[in-house]
A and B are shown apart, each in its own frame.
Chain A
């Protein structure tokens, strides 16, 4: 699964096909305009670019198949495996940060929680984690909320 361009090519081709389908099914997105012949409509460009992406995606996929997976991208060493775990936790952390912010509308609380979480994931010391969280929270509060008057209510 990790070898070659077959799957990325397929994904690009599917994206191109999806755009073509959406454009085709939308009554507003026509290839030509209603006014005069030859003048492009709102669907003109999405049709062209969707087709282009479909063709290039298929070409990439075919090339990947022809290479029989000789191109290897992810050489997963034990270190990379550990890194992937940290990366996964960071991605989940950001997702949770955004979810808590959106649900509770408490931006600063979610920021504090995220700052604590990411430092734990990145294996920083306890004192550093607390000091970092305090400094970053005060910085964001002072610069953005008080200084620039940004309202973080979503």
Chain B
């Protein structure tokens, strides 16, 4: 991408509508992130159908603003009521809430905004620096490599994201089978459509996401509602302690910034690993920083540095997740998975072509991410003290709104009632998956990558006239195959190791 492309992209963004939608996204994202139970994924899933009716730049401005703001805003509830707004804010509660109780709530909110900004900006700069070289590298990829990349993505989601590997495998296989519904990608004959015309186009990915992460999440929250905990939360909100100053001093900034810069680089790398999201990044970075910091013993008891590290780590994954998404078409987390679906709706396929055929729009996405960071820094600092008011919205109000928006949103994607029915079915399935501890990540990734997996596998076998060794005789494909094997074998090996260790201790 040349300097001209970047300039032209920037020029395209200097429109009032883009700025308006960016700030609208920031406002919605802050609201969603600050409400416990509403995640960035749910927000993106609900808002994506709405953005299809906008110009693609306006739509992505809104989504980027929402995503960046929702991650940072998850820290607001973590700090003020000890309840992480998003899973990525878990470690922020460990230091943020004790700080609030010490009368430093304002400072904690300020640290959350400033260091989320730092993490976000560094990771996006990494995205800008490394996306093109990685995309250039993928030009050597053939069908075998793309098959292995897709398989690697699914295996990472099953093996790394935690939980039960066997259940993950079942869910992954189920997701891939769902992707088989519709027209065969190579021979163009109908599969599993059962004479239902609307199934001919296959099962759309976005309604499934809205079902699992939107309406399904509402159903799950209704199922697991705990009135005692809700009452305790209300009590905490009433506490209303003095917040104090918001901005850290220059000396404090100087002390925390070098560590946080390292954390943001680490978070970018973690974010680039498929399935490793902000929660994993925050826990790893916070844990390691605690080990190496001089004030490690203060971590978890109201350490300002600990909070700065957590805030940096959860926003730091954003750029990393986008690197794998934009260059390889592999979603780093569930938000980027929806963004892939969104790009596909605009007729773009993540991968090398994003950097050639849609270079200007790719630049615009990266610039929008940077602008979103700047926007949430301004909004976040300006509204730090009033952001606590967002918490006063009752959960049932949110559930009622989300239920309606999920139905309307899933219809709007293709003006299809079948999409609404699919969304509803997956919402019900989503509750069962949650209750029975079945990870939904592999299902979603299986459905998203199933088409890539199948078409490339069949292309590779056609090229090699049915020779399966084709997948391991090509160097990159072979390396990826080993990585896939290791990903599956790692949890099994770890379980055996833990069992032996436990037996020894007994």
Contact = CB atoms under 8 A, between A and B. Distances in A.
A87 B222 contact: yes
B407 A98 contact: yes
B243 interface: no
Interface size class of A (residues with CB under 8 A): 35 or more
Given A42-B189, A86-B222, A94-B407, A122 B466 contact: no
A16 B176 CA distance: 12
Interface residues of B, number: 59
Interface in B451-487: 454, 457-458, 461-462, 464-467
B190 A151 contact: no
A106 interface: no
Contacts of A50: 177
Contact of A39 (B169, B219, B465): B465
A60 B166 contact: yes
B435 interface: yes
Contacts of A66: none
B246 interface: no
Given A42-B187, A98-B420, A91 B53 contact: no
Contacts of A119: 396, 400
B180 A73 contact: no
Interface in A125-154: 132, 136, 140, 143-144, 147-148, 150-152, 154
Contact of A148 (B173, B397, B412): B412
Contacts of A44: 458
A151 B417 CA distance: 11
Label chain A's interface by main secondary structure: helix
Contacts of A43: 191
Contacts of B6: none
A65 interface: no
Nearest to A94: B424
A19 B194 CA distance: 12
A119 to B, nearest CB: 6
A8 B167 CA distance: 9
Interface string A49-63: 110110011011001
Contacts of A40: 457-458, 461-462, 466
Nearest to B165: A56
Contact of A28 (B189, B399, B427): B189
A117 to B, nearest CB: 10
B466 A37 contact: yes
Interface in B203-222: 215, 218-219, 222
Interface string B58-90: 000000000000000000000000000000000
B219 A91 contact: yes
Contacts of A151: 415
Contacts of A19: 177, 180, 192
B166 A8 contact: no
A46 B166 contact: no
A45 B412 contact: no
Given A8-B436, A12-B170, A45 B458 contact: yes
B349 to A, nearest CB: 20
Nearest to A52: B173
A98 B421 contact: yes
A79 B227 contact: yes
B225 to A, nearest CB: 5
Nearest to B401: A136
Nearest to B453: A45
B193 to A, nearest CB: 10
B467 A38 contact: yes
Contacts of B174: 12, 15, 53
Contacts of A57: 170
Interface of A: 5, 8-9, 12, 15-16, 19, 22, 26, 28-29, 33, 36-46, 49-50, 52-53, 56-57, 59-60, 63, 73-74, 79-80, 83-84, 86-87, 90-91, 94-95, 97-98, 101-102, 111, 114-115, 118-119, 122-124, 132, 136, 140, 143-144, 147-148, 150-152, 154
Interface of B: 50, 53, 166-167, 169-170, 173-174, 176-177, 180, 184, 186-187, 189-192, 215, 218-219, 222-227, 396-397, 399-401, 403-404, 407-408, 411-412, 415, 417, 420-421, 424, 427-428, 431, 435-438, 454, 457-458, 461-462, 464-467
12 contacts: A42-B189, A42-B191, A43-B191, A46-B191, A79-B227, A87-B219, A90-B219, A98-B407, A118-B399, A132-B397, A148-B53, A150-B411
Given A132-B397, A151-B415, 10 more contacts: A5-B436, A33-B187, A42-B191, A45-B180, A56-B170, A83-B224, A90-B218, A122-B396, A122-B399, A150-B412
